[in-house]
């Protein structure tokens, strides 16, 4: 069940949130924040959870009658379901033919993909996940848990103490997407992983 990020997560912290003498828009500290968050956020992270609001695409061979749990919670919404027909042409499933309760996706009783093509993972479910800042009582997913922000602060401060020469931070912008990638040294990566494991283990989503 491959899951990929279609729209990268919205940053939930800035350099201004990190104590220190740096500028509130310091690009190096921003890169450190992104490198830290990337270790545990979303499909490529270690916690099985989304923090910054992002759009994901789940690709499957079939959808189960009893429902399918959308991975990497919390689920926000904006669901779009498509499939490849016999000719390999994408078709969109009408919203009346499915429903999502919390993070469980279910097709309408009796619905079937009558023209589903014989391709690897021909069905895709696109949805938005993460913390959107809207109170849960109002139908949102709330704010990013405070312990996450504290963990990011601690880990960024640890990275700053290593010195720039040990980080090998770089950024790359993909036209039309805005995706940034960051690379850290083995030493820095170990610090990030160890700190996140200690501080964020309570937020880890068990694998199903």
Q: What is the pLDDT along the chain (208 residues), one digit of tens a residue?
A: 799 999 999 999 999 999 988 899 888 888 889 888 988 899 988 889 999 999 999 999 888 778 889 999 999 999 999 999 999 899 999 999 999 988 899 998 888 887 888 888 999 999 999 999 999 999 899 999 998 998 899 888 887 776 655 555 555 554 554 554 555 566 666 766 676 666 676 677 766 5
**What confidence score (pLDDT) does residue 204 get?**
76
Contact 53, 131 (CB under 8 A): yes
Helix (H) or strand (E) holding 193: helix 186-200
**What confidence score (pLDDT) does residue 169 get?**
53
Separation of alpha carbons 193 and 79, rounded Å: 32
Which pTM value belongs to this model? Answer: 0.80
Domain boundaries, the chain: 13-51+144-203, 54-138
**What confidence score (pLDDT) does residue 201 get?**
67
């Amino acid at each position: 069940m491959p899951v990929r990020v279609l729209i990268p997560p919205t940053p939930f912290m800035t350099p201004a949130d990190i104590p220190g003498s740096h500028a509130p828009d310091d690009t190096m500290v921003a890169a450190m924040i992104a490198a830290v968050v990337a270790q545990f956020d979303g499909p490529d992270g270690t916690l099985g959870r989304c923090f910054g609001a992002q759009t994901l695409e789940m690709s499957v061979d079939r959808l189960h009658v009893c429902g399918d749990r959308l991975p990497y919670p919390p689920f926000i919404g904006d669901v779009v379901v498509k499939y490849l027909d016999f000719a390999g042409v994408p078709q969109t499933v009408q919203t009346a033919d499915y429903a999502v309760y919390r993070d469980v996706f279910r097709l309408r009783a009796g619905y079937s993909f009558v023209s589903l093509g014989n391709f690897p993972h021909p069905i895709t479910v696109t949805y938005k996940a993460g913390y959107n800042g809207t109170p849960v009582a109002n139908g949102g997913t709330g704010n990013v848990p405070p312990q996450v922000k504290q963990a990011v602060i601690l880990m960024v401060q640890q990275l700053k103490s290593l010195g720039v020469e040990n980080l090998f931070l770089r950024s790359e912008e993909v036209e039309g997407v805005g995706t940034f990638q960051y690379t850290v040294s083995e030493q820095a990566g170990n610090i990030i992983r160890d700190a996140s494991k200690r501080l964020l283990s309570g937020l880890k989503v068990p694998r199903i």
